A and B are shown apart, each in its own frame.
Chain A
Amino acid sequence: MTMTTLAATGALRYSWLLLAFPVFGAAVLLAGGRRTDRWGHLLGVAMPLAAFVYGLVAFFTLLGYPAAERGRELHMYSWIPVGSFQVNIGLLLDPLSISFVLLITGVGSLIHIYSVGYMATDAERRKFFGYLNLFIAAMLLLVLADNYLALYAGWEGVGLASYLLIGFWSFKPSAAVAAKKAFIVNRVGDAGLSVAVMLMFAEFGTVSFGGVFHSARSGGSGVATALGLLLLLGACGKSAQVPLQSWLLDAMEGPTPVSALIHAATMVTAGVYLLVRSNPILALSSTAQLAVTVVGAVTLLWGAIIGCAKDDIKKSLAGSTMSQIGYMTLGAGLGPAGYVFAIAHLLAHGFFKAGLFLGAGSVMHAMDDEVNMRRYGGLARYMPVTFVTFGLGYLAIIGFPPLSGFFTKDGIIAAAWDKGGTSGALLATCAIIGAGLTAFYMTRMMLMTFFGKPRWQEAGPRGGAEPRTGQPQPEPHMAGGSGGSSPRASTAALHPHESPGVMIWPMILLAVGSIGAGAFLITGQRFQSFLSPVVGVPPVSHGVFTTAGYITLALMAAGIVIAWAMYGRVPVPATAPRGSLITNAARRDLYGDAFNEAVLMRPGQWLTRLSVYFDGRGIDGLVNTTAAAIGGTSGRTRRVQTGFVRSYALLMFAGAGLLVAALLVVRL
């Protein structure tokens, strides 16, 4: 559904401030260097806050308009004016983009504040904030752009920021490798998006949203399917959906605020944004929509299974992120029935996942950067605030009514249920099973971290035989531990304590969001009516409690019970037990890395070696053979210079004979 856009007026004319604030912050902090170390973090916090303030202003201004006039465009700069290819940098403020702006700047500001405390001991804190501001700027450009090429610019910018931030502790080889891996896998998705942009220009002659959506119908279903699939590929890369999911767990090498902001709340949701923004294109191709739903369903199960077996708290949360975004993708593939719930779940997920990650960071901060949950235990007593906020996030994510997840996730499950047919049934089944798995692994996480015996007290000094990674079982892939920057002395005793205020308050605020965001958005169809001019109206509207909802609740309860039986009732072993087939598979990320290596990396290496061989033996051989032939020929030919006059005379004689022969040949 396309909304007619009007020019930006009033307060919205200053929408460029949304980009200008974080860009300014990033420029000053990164270009200023060490001189800005003392106050850099303050500037870094101030900029997203300023953007958030303006975002609120813009939001309320937009609310002041009637529903049909909420799409506003601000032309900023004519970027590529080349003949028939006109691309501008302009901002599109409409309900969809303003929602994202509020999420990004709001949650982002909270995480910036948290980082002041979390990175207090890091000497490069100023650079960290510079990169964070860069990320905020790029993400805002992504969601505010009014054409696909500017969106792509923001897309690349967040990819760059992700690379810089994952590899922030670049002295750790595992972090550097993880950053490179994330960038490369994202590149595959970016290729899909760039081909989609090229296809748009080739078919429609324009890349702006308005132009493309307007003429999408003229391209025919083939073009729409192609575009849809290519956009899906791009979304898979950025949102870590199957098949481009392998980078997300390794991305936990970055500092915890990075994991919270980028790899939970915002960047990984860019793919969902792209799909929802392109809903007019998806509406024209049922094949593409089916593909989107399949990808979403597969990924939500994939991430859930991985999350069940990880002992690293951040990796388990990453698997959870993968799974939840799978839900959002599933919702985005269901057409107007699912868009609203997908975005609502996205917003709610931003709150509770960020809160969960910040809580995990708080636990790690207290446990001296230990990430292995088998060394946690009983922390509820020592870190009550963290426990409460984490617990509220936990309840939200498993869909415990009446917290956020219940409304949003169940909305997606209901939309899948309502799709009907075999596909609808399958999708709904997957989603419901996923909900059960979510409850299982989140409960497992809660139990291992906050309940039970404090295993860290009796474990004593950490053995030197184990690698510092914190993962007792061997991780076959490059990502080692995702801990902090300083190694821990093996004999120091742990004294977990609550985190400082600067870290606590963001977690509290996010917990508030975890509690109320879902209800606020979904009840009374508030968000639905807000967003419907952009994405359309769901055909079937039902209440909060549906058949699918009940089944989901049942499985949720089952998951909790099973987890309690496995981890609550029996003590958690200090080292990971051998595990069943699927557990071991899950510990190895369901062989995602192994698949990539076998199918892509090794053939690529073989191809490289083959090329090197051909270059060395073939082309170099050709050149060397030519050189050797010339050298050999000259070596033999120089023996003509015997030094004897008589042999030269013989050559002259023979030459004269040849001349006579030539003359005769001509004349005879």
Chain B
Amino acid sequence: MSHASHLLAAGGGGTNLDSIYVQVLYWILAIFAVGAAIAMVCVRRAVHCAVMLAIVMLALAVMYAMQGAPFLAFVQVIVYTGAVLMLFLFVLMLIGVSSADSLVETIRGQRLWAGIAGIFLAVLLILGIGHAAIGSANPATAANGAGNLTGIATLIFTTYVFPFEVTSALLITAALAAMVLAHRERTAPKPTQRELARRRVTSGHVAPEPPPGVYATHDAVDMPALLPDGSTTDRSVSPAIAQRDIELGREPIRSVTADLAAEARIEAARQVEEAAAGGAPGKGRAPGKDER
């Protein structure tokens, strides 16, 4: 823990770890980050992409900490990974979590040339930076003297106060923009309560449906579940249980007919329902439809 606190110590700006630990940590994090990034580009499902991105962001957060930017490290985790990435996931859920990209590329040569351009750019930048005079770490300065957070706060509210104000205006604008963009115009007048009640009554289905399990007569694991129309489904029984029944010499229970009174009640209710429905078209129920 002392190492961790030393890590977070604002004095010095940097870690107090021995350089060998820093190097090992760097290489591990770097490999993780690059691997996750490449995976992010390559996976098919979008949710996996988001997860890979989260990994990259976390790795980067640790790197910020290693470089004497603890405040930024936590902001990265809390804000970036925790808020922004979650926002991504929300939208993914809304839009289609299972929509998978087909791996076939529609534009001819796009992948090849994108790869070549990427390699080209990477080589160039590395060459450029390699030539640039990047000195060694310069940890100690007066700015960092009072502590990392204080230093950053000082900078934000003195030197960079105007960008700060502008950025806050930007955030407000972004929030408003999101509201406006996600807003859906009504195409029909909003139904009043009176209208809703009328609809409910004329549909014949006045009372809300009972919550699941109201009509259940058994709760054994090996009893098949009831469907709304009274039929049973085998799929609710685990194949292992069914196998056990067979091994024990018992026949798997296919229907719930033990309770004759319950069955008569069910039958009567069904007949009333069919008489009320008569020749009218379906009332929204879909008997026999298997829901996934």
A–B interface present (Cβ within 8 A): yes
B-contacting residues of A (Cβ < 8 Å)? 642, 644, 646-647, 650, 653-654, 656-657, 660-661, 663-664, 668
A664 and B120 form a contact (CB under 8 A):
no
Q: Closest CB-CB distance, A651 to chain B, in whole Å?
A: 9
- How many angstroms from the CA of A647 to the CA of B117 in the assembled complex? 12
Task: Give the residue of A642, A656, A663, A668 whose beta carbon is less than 8 angstroms from that of B121.
Answer: A656
Tell me how many residue pairs across A and B have CB atoms closer than 8 Å: 37
B78-86, B106-114, B200-208 - interface stretch: B106-114
Contacts A656-B121, A657-B120 given; does A647 touch B127 at CB 8 Å: no
Q: Closest CB-CB distance, A589 to chain B, in whole Å?
A: 77
Please indicate the chain B residues that have their CB under 8 angstroms from the CB of A664 in the complex: 124, 127-128, 131
Q: Which residue of B lies closest to A663 (CB)?
A: B128
A660 and B121 form a contact (CB under 8 A):
yes
Q: Which residue of B lies closest to A655 (CB)?
A: B117
B125 an interface residue at 8 Å Cβ cutoff?
yes
Q: Closest CB-CB distance, B154 to chain A, in whole Å?
A: 34
Q: How many residues of B are counted as interface, with CB atoms below 8 angstroms from the partner's CB atoms?
A: 14
B110 and A647 form a contact (CB under 8 A):
yes
Please indicate the chain A residues that have their CB under 8 angstroms from the CB of B127 in the complex: 664, 668
Q: Closest CB-CB distance, B123 to chain A, in whole Å?
A: 9
Please indicate the chain A residues that have their CB under 8 angstroms from the CB of B118 in the complex: 653
- How many angstroms from the CA of A38 to the CA of B125 in the assembled complex? 103
Would you give the 0/1 interface string for B199-236, flagging 1 where the beta carbon is closer than 8 Å to chain A?
A: 00000000000000000000000000000000000000
Please indicate the chain B residues that have their CB under 8 angstroms from the CB of A668 in the complex: 127-128, 131
B121 and A646 form a contact (CB under 8 A):
no
Task: Give the residue of A642, A650, A660 whose beta carbon is less than 8 angstroms from that of B125.
Answer: A660
Sample 12 A-B pairs with CB under 8 A, ordered by A number: A644-B106, A646-B110, A647-B110, A650-B114, A653-B117, A654-B117, A657-B120, A657-B121, A660-B121, A660-B125, A664-B124, A664-B128
B110 and A657 form a contact (CB under 8 A):
no
A650 and B124 form a contact (CB under 8 A):
no
Please indicate the chain A residues that have their CB under 8 angstroms from the CB of B131 in the complex: 664, 668
A657 and B117 form a contact (CB under 8 A):
yes
- How many angstroms from the CA of A650 to the CA of B120 in the assembled complex? 13
Q: Closest CB-CB distance, A450 to chain B, in whole Å?
A: 99
Q: Closest CB-CB distance, B116 to chain A, in whole Å?
A: 9
Please indicate the chain B residues that have their CB under 8 angstroms from the CB of A654 in the complex: 113, 117, 120
Please indicate the chain A residues that have their CB under 8 angstroms from the CB of B107 in the complex: 642, 644, 646-647
Q: Closest CB-CB distance, A644 to chain B, in whole Å?
A: 5
Please indicate the chain A residues that have their CB under 8 angstroms from the CB of B117 in the complex: 650, 653-654, 657
Q: Closest CB-CB distance, A494 to chain B, in whole Å?
A: 93
- How many angstroms from the CA of A576 to the CA of B79 in the assembled complex? 122
Please indicate the chain A residues that have their CB under 8 angstroms from the CB of B121 in the complex: 653, 656-657, 660
Residues of B139-182 whose CB lies within 8 A of A? none
Please indicate the chain A residues that have their CB under 8 angstroms from the CB of B120 in the complex: 654, 657, 661
Q: Which residue of B lies closest to A653 (CB)?
A: B117
Q: Which residue of A lies closest to B131 (CB)?
A: A668
Please indicate the chain A residues that have their CB under 8 angstroms from the CB of B106 in the complex: 644
Q: Which residue of B lies closest to A647 (CB)?
A: B107
- How many angstroms from the CA of A664 to the CA of B120 in the assembled complex? 13
- How many angstroms from the CA of A461 to the CA of B233 in the assembled complex? 126
- How many angstroms from the CA of A656 to the CA of B118 in the assembled complex? 11
Residues of B57-113 whose CB lies within 8 A of A? 106-107, 110, 113
Please indicate the chain B residues that have their CB under 8 angstroms from the CB of A660 in the complex: 121, 124-125, 128
- How many angstroms from the CA of A663 to the CA of B107 in the assembled complex? 31
Would you give the 0/1 interface string for B267-288, flagging 1 where the beta carbon is closer than 8 Å to chain A?
A: 0000000000000000000000
- How many angstroms from the CA of A644 to the CA of B118 in the assembled complex? 19
- How many angstroms from the CA of A664 to the CA of B121 in the assembled complex? 12
Q: Closest CB-CB distance, A659 to chain B, in whole Å?
A: 10
- How many angstroms from the CA of A657 to the CA of B117 in the assembled complex? 7
Which residue, B124, B125, B127, B131, has most C-beta atoms of chain A within 10 A?
A: B124
